[in-house]
Structure 1
C-alpha cells in the first residue's frame, strides 16, 4: 500500500536526498518535498493487503492509495499550486482531495513521482498527467518509460568499477528493477506490426578468416586521382574493413569514413569546405563564449550542460598522454568542442557518454575544427542512443537478442533462464561502441572498421555476439546466475586482441555462407 501525506504544517523549501529506492512509498516522496527533516515513518497499519477506503477530508488527514490505482493527476499552477489525484475505474473514478503546495514544490513532487510511474501529458482545458496502462493501452510508451528507469542503474557503470550499483543492491532487487520495470520488452517477440518466425541457422564449420595489415599511405594514395578524388571506393573500404588504417593516415581517412569529406570531392573542394566549416565552427563557439554570467544565471539548461561537460571532461581518458595532467590543452579542446556542439544541436545538448565518443576523434585529429565536424558526423549515426526516449538503444537491444538467438540458441536460452535475456548488460557496449571495454588503440581500430559500413550497418551487434561467445563457456560451465552474469559483462574488459574478435565476427557473418543463403529476420536488416 502506498501513502500520500498532506502536510500538517506549511512546507519548507524543497530538498531531495541523493537517491530514493524503487520501493519508496508516496508518503516518503511527500516527506522529501515538504519537510526537512522528514516526519516519522508510517505505522505498519498503513499497508493492509487490500485497498484501503479513502478517508474523510480533515485537517492533517492522510490519503491512501496504490500507485497502480492512479489514473491521472490534475495540475493547477496559477496562484497556490495544487494536485488532484483521480483513481481508476475500479475505484469508481474517485477524485481525492486537492494536495496544496502553498510555498512551491509541486514540480519537485511530480519529479519524485516520475521515478516510479510513467506520466504523460494530456492536453485539455484543464491539465492532466495520466499514468500509462501497463503495456495494454500503449506498449511502446510503456516499454520506453520502463527502459528509462533502468538507464540510471546502467549509467552508474560510467563511474568506474568501484561505484557500480551492483555492489550496493541485492540480486533480487536488481532483477526486479531490470525485469519488471519494462513489461513491454519481451525480447523474444518482434516489433509490431505483425510477427515473424525466427529459425536458428546452422552455419556448420565456420571458415578460417585471416585479417590483413593496415592500409598505409602509399596504398591510400594509389586510390586517389590527380585532382584528389578517391577511386575504387568500394575496394578501399573492404581493405580498411579487413585491416584498418595505419595511424598516420587516420587524420585524413577518418574524414572520409565519417562523411565529413565526400569521397568524390577534389582536393580544392575539400579545402573550400574546410574554410567554410572553420568559419561556421567559430561562429557557434563565439555564441557560448559570449554568454555573460548574468545571462547564464537565467539559463538553467546552459548551466546544466556546462556543469556536466566540465565533470565528464575531467574524467575522460586521463591516463592517455593527450589528456593527462592538469590544464592540459587536450582537455580544453575537449571541453570547447562539446560546448560548441550544444550550440549546434540545441535539442540534444550534452548527454553523459558523448565525451567518450569525442575523445578518440580529437586525439586523432589534433584540431578542434576537424574534430568537431567529424564528431558531428559520428553523432548523426549515434543520435538516437542519446535521445531522451532512447528508442535507438531499445531497438538495438531487441536486435541483439534476436541475433544471439539466431546464432547461439542454447546460450540465449541459458541467459533467459537466468533472467538475463534482456541483455541490458550490453547497454554500455552499444551506447558508446565499446569505448570503455577496449584499450584505446583497439577502439581506434574497431571504430574505423565499423565506419566502413561493411558488411552491414549492424556489424557492432556481431561484435557483441563475439564478446558474449568468448565469455559463454565461463558463464555456462560455472553456472553463473543473474548477478554473476551482470557483473562479468558490466565490468568486462577485453583481454584478447580486437583482431581476433573481428575475425570471429567475420566468420559469423559468413561472407556468402550466411547472407547469400538465408534471409535475415526483419529486425536485423
Structure 2
C-alpha cells in the first residue's frame, strides 16, 4: 500500500462512495466469484491527495456499515436501516483505508449504470466503485484536473491514465498559446479530446529532460568522457550519464550562405520536356531549395513537390491521372455526405470529428481575405476537404492543426480536388506529428536537443538550467511546420524549401535552432526562466526574417557536415549522414543501434524508466 507522505494535501473529495476490491473475476458484472465479496460494505469518502507532482487516491470508510440486499455482483439496494455494528476503532479504520498511487493506476472504466465504474491497476487489481451522490462522469471531470486521461479508441467508457498533470507545466503551456486565435489549449489538454494529440504529449514531454540527458551521452563516441548526475528514481538515486556539462564540441567556422533567386519560368521550362515530363529533378530541387519558387509557378510545381503528379508523367498521363483523382475525391465526398443524422447518432467517432472540423474551419485564417467574412464559400471548401481527408485516412481522422496546413494550399490551388490531393501529399510528409502516440514529436524534440547541444552548447546549457531544456516552446513550430510563425507569403517559401528534402534530413530542426540562436541574447537576458522564454518565443510570430533564418540554418548544416566524423551518432542519424563503424568492432549496425533513442511503444516500463527525470 503506497501511502502519501504526511505533507500531502487533500485537493478533492467525494462523499458517499463505496469502494470494493475484486480479488478474482472472470467477466465483470456477471461472473465475479461470490467469495470475492463481503456481506457488509461501507460508504466512505474518496479523496485526491497531492504532493509535489504526485497524486494519490485515498478512500476512508465511514463508521456506519451498509448491508447490500442484491446479487453480490451488483450494488442495487443499499439498506441503512440494519442494526449498526460497533464503531470502528482507529486501528481498524486505518487498516480499511484504501490507498492508490496514480502511478499504479492503469485505467478507469465506466459501467452501464452511470454511478458505477472500475479502477484497474497495473498489477491486475480491480476496484469496484459506486458513487451514491452524483455520477461517475462527475468524478471523471474533476479527476482530469489532476491526471491526464486518454479515452480508449475501442470503448468510449474506458479511460487510460497517462500520468499526473504538472501544474507549473500547464501554466507554461497556457503562456505558450499554441494556437492563439483558437483559445487556450491547456484546458483542452485536460479534456477527452482523443483527436487532439496534446494530452498525450503533456505526459510524455514532461519527462523528456531525462531522455535528452541520457540520450546524448549514449550516442557519444566510445572514447568521449561522460559526466554522471543523480536521477531520482522512486525513493532511490540512480546514476544516469549526462553530457550537459560536457566540453563544447570543436566545430569549424560557420560559412556565410547567400540565398538564390526563386525558380523562374525560364528555368522551369528548361526542366520540362516536349511531352510534359520533368527532367533533371535534382537540379530543379536544388534551385527551389536555394530560392523558392516564383509565385506564378507554384500552382504547377507544388503538385510535383507534393507527389500529386509524378515527375516522369507526360502531359497526357498527368491529365488522365488528374481526371482519375478528381473522381476519387468526388467519391470520398459522397461517402461522408451520404451519412444521415440518424447514422451519425450511432457513429459517435464520425460525429465528433465532424464537429471538430466545423469548429476549426470557422477559426482558421479568418483574418486573411480568402477566408474572411460570413458565408464565405472558401470555408465550405476547407470543410469539404478536411471531411474528405477524414474518410480517406479514417485511422488518423482529423486532428487539430491540419486546417492550418491545408489553408495555404487551398488558397493557392483555389479548387477542392487539386488542394485535396496536394494536402494528402503534405500529410504523408508530416503525418507522424498528428499520431495519437506522439512518437514522432517526442523524437523530434530529442533530436533538436542533441543538435542544439552541438551547435550552441552555451544556450543549451542555459535552457537546461532554467527548466527549458525540454524545448517545449518549439512544439508549435514542429507540429505545423512554422505555420503560425510566418506570414502566408513567407510560409509558402518555407514549405517549398522543406519539401525538397534538401540539404539533409530534418532540415526543419536546423530552422528551429537558427531562430533560437537569433534570439539567444534576448532569451538569456535577465536570467529569464521558462515563463519568460515562452512569452518571448510566442511574441516572435510574424516577426521572423525568413531569408536570414534559411541562410543561417543552411550554414549550420555546412558547419556540421565539415566535421561529420566527430558528430554524435544521434546527430548523424538525425541529419541522414553516414554513421561511422564502431571503432572496436568495425560494425556499422551495432553502432547505429546506439542512436535509437526513441522508447519502444510496447515497452512502457522501459519507457518510464528512461524518462526518470520529470520536469517540475
Using the size of structure 1 for normalisation, the TM-score is 0.76
Task: Give the deviation of 1:432 after TM superposition.
Answer: 0.3
Structure 1's 331 and 460: CA in aligned 2 closer, same or farther, altered over 3 A?
A: same
* Residues in 1 aligned to 2:415 and 2:177: alpha-carbon distance in whole angstroms: 31
Pair 1:157-2:191 in alignment:
no
1:186 equivalent among 210, 219, 228: 210
1:433 equivalent among 460, 473, 481: 481
Instruction: Please identify, of 408-417 and 59-68, the stretch whose mean Cα deviation from structure 2 is larger.
Output: 59-68
Whether the 8 Å contact between 2:164 and 2:203 is mirrored in structure 1 is: no
1:284 equivalent among 325, 328, 332: 332
* Residues in 1 aligned to 2:544 and 2:56: alpha-carbon distance in whole angstroms: 56
**CA offsets per residue over residues 260-312 of structure 1, 9 Å max, x none?**
11112211111111011110000000111122222223322222222221221
* Other-structure match for 2:412: 364
Whether the 8 Å contact between 2:466 and 2:530 is mirrored in structure 1 is: yes
* Residues in 2 aligned to 1:99 and 1:321: alpha-carbon distance in whole angstroms: 54
Whether the 8 Å contact between 2:299 and 2:412 is mirrored in structure 1 is: yes
* Residues in 1 aligned to 2:357 and 2:59: alpha-carbon distance in whole angstroms: 49
Structure 1's 41 and 145: CA in aligned 2 closer, same or farther, altered over 3 A?
A: closer
SS in 1 for 2:517: helix
1:65 equivalent among 96, 99, 103: 99
* Other-structure match for 1:251: 299
1:5 equivalent among 14, 18, 28: 14
* Residues in 1 aligned to 2:159 and 2:411: alpha-carbon distance in whole angstroms: 46
Task: Give the deviation of 1:371 after TM superposition.
Answer: 0.5
* Residues in 1 aligned to 2:406 and 2:271: alpha-carbon distance in whole angstroms: 28
* Other-structure match for 2:368: 320
Pair 1:83-2:117 in alignment:
yes
Whether the 8 Å contact between 1:509 and 1:515 is mirrored in structure 2 is: no
SS in 1 for 2:116: strand
Pair 1:415-2:463 in alignment:
yes
Whether the 8 Å contact between 1:143 and 1:185 is mirrored in structure 2 is: no
Whether the 8 Å contact between 2:205 and 2:470 is mirrored in structure 1 is: no
**CA offsets per residue over residues 110-136 of structure 1, 9 Å max, x none?**
5654664467999xxxx998867xxxx
Structure 1's 372 and 210: CA in aligned 2 closer, same or farther, altered over 3 A?
A: same
SS in 1 for 2:117: strand
Task: Give the deviation of 1:436 after TM superposition.
Answer: 0.6
Map residues 323-362 of structure 1 onto 2, 5 A cutoff: 323-362=371-410
* Other-structure match for 1:32: none
Pair 1:100-2:130 in alignment:
yes
Map residues 22-421 of structure 1 onto 2, 5 A cutoff: 54-55=60-61, 58-59=65-66, 65=99, 67-68=101-102, 70-71=104-105, 75=109, 77=111, 82-85=116-119, 98-100=128-130, 105-106=135-136, 109-110=139-140, 113=143, 116-117=146-147, 153=174, 156-160=177-181, 182-183=206-207, 185-189=209-213, 195-197=219-221, 200-421=248-469
Using the size of structure 2 for normalisation, the TM-score is 0.66
Whether the 8 Å contact between 2:145 and 2:165 is mirrored in structure 1 is: no
RMSD: 4.3
Whether the 8 Å contact between 2:57 and 2:102 is mirrored in structure 1 is: no
* Residues in 2 aligned to 1:194 and 1:440: alpha-carbon distance in whole angstroms: 41
Structure 1's 53 and 228: CA in aligned 2 closer, same or farther, altered over 3 A?
A: closer
* Residues in 1 aligned to 2:294 and 2:340: alpha-carbon distance in whole angstroms: 44
Alignment length, in residue pairs?
A: 464
Task: Give the deviation of 1:159 after TM superposition.
Answer: 3.3
* Residues in 1 aligned to 2:560 and 2:477: alpha-carbon distance in whole angstroms: 27
Pair 1:502-2:545 in alignment:
no
Task: Give the deviation of 1:317 after TM superposition.
Answer: 1.3
* Residues in 1 aligned to 2:435 and 2:204: alpha-carbon distance in whole angstroms: 23
* Residues in 2 aligned to 1:192 and 1:207: alpha-carbon distance in whole angstroms: 26
SS in 2 for 1:58: strand
Task: Give the deviation of 1:188 after TM superposition.
Answer: 2.4
Instruction: Please identify, of 445-454 and 253-262, the stretch whose mean Cα deviation from structure 2 is larger.
Output: 253-262
SS in 2 for 1:281: helix
* Residues in 2 aligned to 1:52 and 1:249: alpha-carbon distance in whole angstroms: 65
Larger strand share, 1 or 2? 2
* Residues in 2 aligned to 1:50 and 1:292: alpha-carbon distance in whole angstroms: 45
Q: Give the unaligned 5+ runs of structure 1.
A: 10-39, 133-141, 167-176
SS in 2 for 1:361: helix
**CA offsets per residue over residues 375-432 of structure 1, 9 Å max, x none?**
0111111111111121111111111111111100010000011100010011000000
* Residues in 2 aligned to 1:78 and 1:193: alpha-carbon distance in whole angstroms: 51
* Residues in 1 aligned to 2:312 and 2:559: alpha-carbon distance in whole angstroms: 27
Task: Give the deviation of 1:450 after TM superposition.
Answer: 0.3
Larger radius of gyration: 2
Whether the 8 Å contact between 2:57 and 2:100 is mirrored in structure 1 is: yes
Structure 1's 271 and 80: CA in aligned 2 closer, same or farther, altered over 3 A?
A: closer
Whether the 8 Å contact between 1:143 and 1:183 is mirrored in structure 2 is: no
